[in-house]
Amino acid sequence: MTDRDLEPQDRLLRDDTKPISRRGRENLGLLVISDSKVNRIVISRTALLAGFRTYESDVERAVEALGQHHPEAVLIDCRCDNAVCGPLLERIGSLRNGDGWPRTLVISRDGKTCDHLATGNIDSLMNAPITTDRLGTALHKLVAE
């Protein structure tokens, strides 16, 4: 059976699509941060199908969730302003300890770049709308860097 025989959503379920990072671990943890509960659920489900272990948090509890779960990757799907992203990205920067982990992906809803992109704490920026294939590919590339 080849990939052509599978439906697009079933391609994500194959064992050979599990993300393996430079850390050599499978089933990497992904913290999904969004101000929309629906988006958190959809993104988490897509990441689960791509082989990630997911945790969800709203924006207000994001810094606390980083300390509790110690994820290898963080996906931020919210407005990227100073009030929201400032403390969160500072915490991510302090967790990195020079090795670049956790990796960070920001989904931009309005097509604008994030003001915090220059801080070095954001590894990838993805424009909305997102699809299952695009998100899975972006997450795999994020942890493989």
Q: What is the predicted pLDDT for the residue at 111?
A: 61
Taking the CA atoms of 73, 94, 66 and 125 in sequence, report the sign of the dihedral they define. Answer: negative
How far is residue 16's CA from residue 81's CA, in Å, rounded to a whole number? Answer: 38
Q: Is the pLDDT of residue 4 over 70?
A: no
pLDDT digits (tens, 9 = 90+) for 48-104: 988 899 999 998 899 899 989 889 999 998 776 666 677 888 888 888 876 778 899
Question: pTM of this prediction?
Answer: 0.77
Collapsed DSSP state (helix, strand, coil) of residue 16: helix
Q: Which domains does the chain have, with CATH numbers?
A: 3-144 (3.40.50.2300)
Q: What share of the chain is helix, strand, coil (3-state, %, to 5)?
A: 45, 20, 35
Would you place residue 26 in the very low, low, confident or very high pLDDT band (cuts 50, 70, 90)?
A: low
Q: What is the predicted pLDDT for the residue at 43?
A: 92
Which is nearest to 39 in space by CA: 92, 73, 88, 78?
A: 78
